[in-house]
Amino acid sequence: MRGFLRALGAVVWKDLAAELRSRELLSSMLVFALLVIFIFNFALELDAVARANVTSGVLWVTFVFAGTLGLNRSLAVEKDRGCLDGLLLAPVDRTAIYFGKAIANLVFMLVVAAIVLPVYSILYNVNLFAQGGLLWVIFLGAEGYTAVGTLLAAMAVQARTRDILLPILLFPVVIPVLVAAVKASSGYLQRLPMEEILPWLQLLLAYDVIFTSIAFMVFESVVEE
């Protein structure tokens, strides 16, 4: 167990340290996310009335697109530089590698969210931090998304058509996370009573538990060689 945790920590730390040095993944995710928000601003005419209804949708579409970018990059780097083979040769549990990559990807997504939320709050003069529940929803949604995303990205980067493949593989599978996260977020933002938000939170939790455990079970057969 201790060896597992140490390997896990090493994989996470490797990703974060590499990112701290190069900053290429986070910077591209961030610029992309901000661009998406600006495009939405003009595409949807985000005036005060429209905003109340679509804020959570805009936020989640932004996160998901930026997340796809990050996931693809994070696994493609491993594949191209031959790091994946190196990692697999190392005498560590394969699942430690999976959880390490998934946690690193989750951290990247949360960093993007941590910057997008205040920027959005400033741009539209709303305080998205007023509702603590929203932050929980973002955490749960991002967890489910990266749990499946890391697994599918590990498959996509080994295919010939990898750049276009990840979103096609990922989006139909994450629809429940997306619907639940958008509805729960907008529930918090519109200050709906808890019993209207609760089913969504339950769905998010169920998704996270189910998919994290399944991904963890099948990851070995994705990376074996």
Residue in the structure block whose two tokens are 């697994």: 151
Q: Which stretch binds other proteins (CB under 8 A): 17-25, 43-51, 123-131, 149-157?
A: 149-157
131 sits near other proteins (criterion: CB under 8 A):
no
Contacts of 93 (CB under 8 A, 6+ apart): 3, 4, 7
Chosen residue from 92, 116, 183, 185 binding other proteins by CB under 8 A? 183
158 sits near other proteins (criterion: CB under 8 A):
yes
Residue with Cβ nearer other proteins (117 or 167): 167
Contact predicate 162/72, CB 8 Å: yes
Coil, helix or strand for 161?
Answer: coil
Residue with Cβ nearer other proteins (125 or 161): 161
Chosen residue from 159, 191, 194, 209 binding other proteins by CB under 8 A? 159
**In degrees, to the nearest 5, what angle opens at C-alpha 185 toward C-alphas 181 and 186?**
120
Cα first-last separation, the chain:
25
Residue type, 147: A
172 sits near other proteins (criterion: CB under 8 A):
yes
188 sits near other proteins (criterion: CB under 8 A):
no
205 sits near other proteins (criterion: CB under 8 A):
no
Residue with Cβ nearer other proteins (10 or 179): 179
**In degrees, to the nearest 5, what angle opens at C-alpha 71 toward C-alphas 87 and 145?**
110
189 sits near other proteins (criterion: CB under 8 A):
no
152 sits near other proteins (criterion: CB under 8 A):
yes
Residue 148 burial class via C-beta count within 10 angstroms: exposed 0-12, middle 13-18, buried 19 and up = buried
Chosen residue from 65, 107, 162, 190 binding other proteins by CB under 8 A? 162
Residue in the structure block whose two tokens are 């998919």: 211
176 sits near other proteins (criterion: CB under 8 A):
yes
54 sits near other proteins (criterion: CB under 8 A):
no
Q: How far is the CB of 108 from other proteins (least distance, A)?
A: 22
Contact predicate 140/181, CB 8 Å: yes
Chosen residue from 25, 30, 96, 148 binding other proteins by CB under 8 A? 148
What's 160's DSSP letter? Answer: T
Half-sphere exposure of 98 (CA within 13 A, CB side): 25
Binding site for other proteins (CB under 8 A): 148, 151-152, 155-156, 158-162, 165, 168-169, 172-176, 179-180, 183, 196, 199-200, 203, 206-207, 210-211, 214-215, 218, 221-222, 224
